[in-house]
């Protein structure tokens, strides 16, 4: 058992050593190994202007996406539980969504022409 352990340890060490010799990077490949973040140069200033509208729309999309996943199983629940309680729950949930959408509309979060 000890012999198998030492053989596997030596084989692992040998493969790591061979890999380090084979994969040596040339100095000309320095550009390939530099970090690349969404088209921005990471060595320049990190304080570039970012549109807050994109962030707000992404958050609104995320909220409504989660709400859709909560609405999807409701038709299946109609067959398993009391119809009136499920309908009340569904209408209550959708009314909260509509009130939230009207509030976002009133606040101007959905306007792109500013």
What secondary structure, in 3-state letters, does 53-82 show? HHHHHHHHHHHHHHHHHHHCCHHHHHCCCC
101 belongs to a structural domain: yes
80 belongs to a structural domain: yes
73 belongs to a structural domain: yes
Residue 98's domain spans which residues?
52-107
1 belongs to a structural domain: no
93 belongs to a structural domain: yes
pLDDT for the residue numbered 101:
83
Residue 39 φ/ψ region, left for φ over 0, alpha for ψ in the -120 to 50 degree band, beta for the rest: left
pLDDT for the residue numbered 11:
94
| Average pLDDT of the chain, as a whole number | 77
- Of residues 67 and 44, which shows the higher confidence score? 67
Query: 94 is written with which tokens?
Result: 């959708």
Separation CA 107–CA 98 (nearest Å): 14
Residue 102 has pLDDT above 80, yes or no: yes
Separation CA 35–CA 41 (nearest Å): 9
- The domain total for the chain is 1
**83-90: average pLDDT:** 82
60 belongs to a structural domain: yes
- End-to-end CA distance of the chain: give it in Å, rounded: 73
pLDDT for the residue numbered 47:
64
CA dihedral 78, 84, 90, 93 (to 10 degrees): -150
């Amino acid at each position: 058992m000890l012999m198998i352990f030492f053989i596997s340890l030596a084989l692992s060490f040998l493969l790591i050593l061979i890999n380090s010799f084979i994969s040596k990077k040339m100095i000309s490949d320095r550009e390939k190994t530099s970090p690349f973040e969404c088209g921005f140069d990471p060595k320049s200033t990190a304080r570039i202007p970012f549109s807050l509208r994109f962030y707000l729309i992404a958050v609104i999309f995320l909220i409504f996406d989660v709400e859709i996943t909560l609405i999807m199983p409701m038709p299946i629940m109609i067959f398993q539980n009391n119809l009136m309680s499920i309908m009340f729950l569904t209408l209550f949930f959708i009314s909260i969504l509509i009130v939230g959408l009207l509030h976002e509309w009133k606040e101007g979060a959905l306007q792109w022409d500013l």
